[in-house]
Amino acid sequence: MPYVANSCGGEISNKTFFKLQSPGYPVGYEANMSCSWLVHSPSGGKVYFRFIDINLQFSSSQCSGNHVILYDGAHAISQIIYEPVCDMGANRLYGKEKPFSSTGRLLVE
């Protein structure tokens, strides 16, 4: 059974396989919730991240405040690996064949 991180943020180290879940998953999450996870790869390797199930609210009148951003590093100033666009259809997170990868540390916001 993989390690499951279901709290709002935290740090994950030396796990070869794990799941990130928002608190309350699969039910919705609280309004204005902001969670960040910092993931360290085991033995200095890469971190691979794949979206299995994601449901962000979206309004046709504006970009959603709900988002997931992946950074290649430990800080929000690190290079962005993935950032959603306003057209949710263009994000194509479901069934993505190749996972996103980072150079050893991955910040998920």
Domain span including residue 69: 3-108
Q: Supply the pLDDT for residue 31.
A: 75
Beta-strand relationship, 37-40 and 10-13: parallel
| Strand order from edge to edge, sheet including 105-108 | 10-13, 37-40, 105-108, 70-72, 79-82
Q: How many domains does the chain have?
A: 1
The pLDDT value given to residue 4: 80
Angle among Cα 40, 43, 47 to the nearest 5 degrees reads 40
What's 51's domain CATH number?
A: 2.60.120.290
Q: Which of residues 57 and 16 earns the better pLDDT score?
A: 16
Confidence (pLDDT) at 97: 52
Q: Which of 23-27, 28-32, 70-74, 95-99 is the most confident on average?
A: 70-74
What's the pLDDT at 41?
86
In angstroms, the CA 69 to CA 83 distance is 5
pLDDT digits over 79-92, tens only?
Answer: 988 776 655 555 55
Amino acid identity of residue 96, one-letter, is K
